[in-house]
Amino acid sequence: MVTFLPFKGYRPRLAAGETTESRVSPPYDVIGDDYLKQLQSNPGNVTNLTLSPDADKRHTKSTKLLDEMIQTGALLQDEPSYYLYEQTFTSKGKEYCRRGLVGILRTEEYSEGNIIPHEETFSKVKADRLNLLRDMETHLESIFGIFPGLGEELTKKVINEARLCARYVDKDGVEHQYRRISDETLCAEIAEKLKDQKMLIADGHHRYETALNYAKENPGNEAKQFVLCTMVAADDPGLVIWPTHRLIDAEDIGETSALKKIEKKMSMTEVTEEEMEAQLKDHLFGMIFKSGRCFLLDNKEESDNIMFQLDTYSAQENILKGIYKSDEGKSKVSYNAELEPVKQEMAEKKHDAAIILNEPSLDTIWDLAGKGKRMPKKTTYFFPKIWSGWVFYKME
């Protein structure tokens, strides 16, 4: 079971001339330097809390700013509520709407079997976010979870009850709508429904694990056992998952040498770039090299390790670690979830090679995660990202 509750959220109260755009942002880990400067030019923007330009180990400036925003009324506090977060967007020419239910989730060990991870994490990121939690005692950003769902009848009740709080269309054309659900009876019904369900962490593994560590530091404080969470039903028609392609910069292995070594490990079929895209779904993954040569790749033989059926794992073990020694620091790996920019960078010969992956399957993710398997970092890219700044959970 999971404990997923309504809470007294703090939401932006816009001053004269202020817009929703001035307060919200994409999650902190996907913002480029130029865009961050633009966001932080608005004093009340959430990035001035999550990524303070003067941040130190104690995050004192962020804490002071949050206190000021509450004291001056720039943030208002609701009575206990859930929130409905709707994102309307286009992916590959098709329009979708994804609905997420926002509340606070009780943290617990993965070993309990109720909260299920699916990706590995970076410890360095978790350390910085833990310091932020210790000083601010506030969850500023939401994790993203997938759960079986509320059922048709209860979902209709939620949609009908939700009252619009904020609306914004971002630079990528995604329309964000944030709605509040405050009816006590309905909130109680939602909480009861979730008790019999499990949740897969779709995005925000670092934030969840940081929140769990923080909860362990505060065992007697009930409010600090929870993390801000957005839950999306597994059958939501707007649940779109993109692959995250790998770009390789090798230090001391040339293309000819790499191809000879890869051929010993994997089955390779040379194709044109157009053929690679058209036939990719019938193969494990594809590769583009600096010379422009393209290949479709598959495992040479079945392995007792079921993880090798996953393209990101096979690519990590056979190519990134096995050939380019990325785990030894002998090559640099970067990531991009959009294929066109990857193709453009390869055409401009900016990288030695690129690994082109298939769209991840939610069924595969559930299956492997349910068996306790952790996928390589950045196996999935749930589009669009869950934005921040709509509501905060202050652990009072």
Is the pLDDT at 120 greater than 90, yes or no? no
Residue whose token pair is 């004269």: 16
Q: What is the mean pLDDT of the chain?
A: 94
pLDDT confidence tier of residue 127, bands split at 50, 70 and 90:
confident
List pLDDT tens digits, range 279-317: 999 999 999 999 999 999 999 988 889 899 999 999 999
pLDDT at residue 17, rounded to an integer:
87
What are the DSSP calls for 277-340, one per residue? HHHGGGSSEEEEETTS-EEEEEESS--SSGGGGSHHHHIIIIIIITTT-GGGTSEEEEEES-HH
Reported as half-sphere exposure (CB side, CA atoms, 13 A), residue 274 has a value of: 0
pLDDT at residue 57, rounded to an integer:
57
Is the pLDDT at 11 greater than 90, yes or no? yes
What's the rounded mean pLDDT across residues 372-376?
88
What's the rounded mean pLDDT across residues 177-188?
98
pLDDT at residue 152, rounded to an integer:
96
What's the rounded mean pLDDT across residues 60-82?
95
Q: Find the range with the poorest average confidence among 32-46, 122-136, 310-324, 362-376.
A: 122-136
What's the rounded mean pLDDT across residues 332-343?
96
Share of the chain above pLDDT 90, in %: 82
Plot region of 362 (φ>0 → left; ψ -120 to 50 → alpha; else → beta): alpha
What are the DSSP calls for 149-216, one per residue? ---HHHHHHHHHH-EEEEEEE-TTS-EEEEEEE--HHHHHHHHHHHTT--EEEEE-HHHHHHHHHHHH
Q: Hey, what amino acid is at 224?
A: K
What's the rounded mean pLDDT across residues 77-100?
97
* Nearest of 395, 394, 382, 393 to residue 26 by alpha carbon: 382
Peptide bond into 117 cis (omega under 30): no
Q: Find the range with the poorest average confidence among 125-134, 193-202, 208-217, 351-360.
A: 125-134
Is the pLDDT at 9 greater than 90, yes or no? yes
How far is 262 from 265, CA to CA, in rounded Å? 5
Share of the chain above pLDDT 70, in %: 97
Is the pLDDT at 55 greater than 70, yes or no? no
Is the pLDDT at 222 greater than 90, yes or no? yes
pLDDT at residue 54, rounded to an integer:
64
List pLDDT tens digits, range 130-180: 888 999 999 999 999 999 999 999 999 999 999 999 999 999 999 999 999
pLDDT confidence tier of residue 269, bands split at 50, 70 and 90:
very high
Is the pLDDT at 119 greater than 90, yes or no? no
pLDDT confidence tier of residue 59, bands split at 50, 70 and 90:
confident
pLDDT at residue 381, rounded to an integer:
92
Q: Find the range with the poorest average confidence among 27-31, 201-205, 355-359.
A: 27-31
What are the DSSP calls for 110-138, one per residue? GGGSSEE--B---HHHHHHHHHHHHHH-E
pLDDT confidence tier of residue 52, bands split at 50, 70 and 90:
confident
Two structure tokens written together for 38: 């633009």
How far is 360 from 368, CA to CA, in rounded Å? 12
List pLDDT tens digits, range 223-240: 999 999 999 999 999 999
pLDDT at residue 221, rounded to an integer:
97
**Is the model more confident about 175 or about 362?**
175
Two structure tokens written together for 186: 């309905």
pLDDT confidence tier of residue 344, bands split at 50, 70 and 90:
very high
pLDDT at residue 126, rounded to an integer:
66
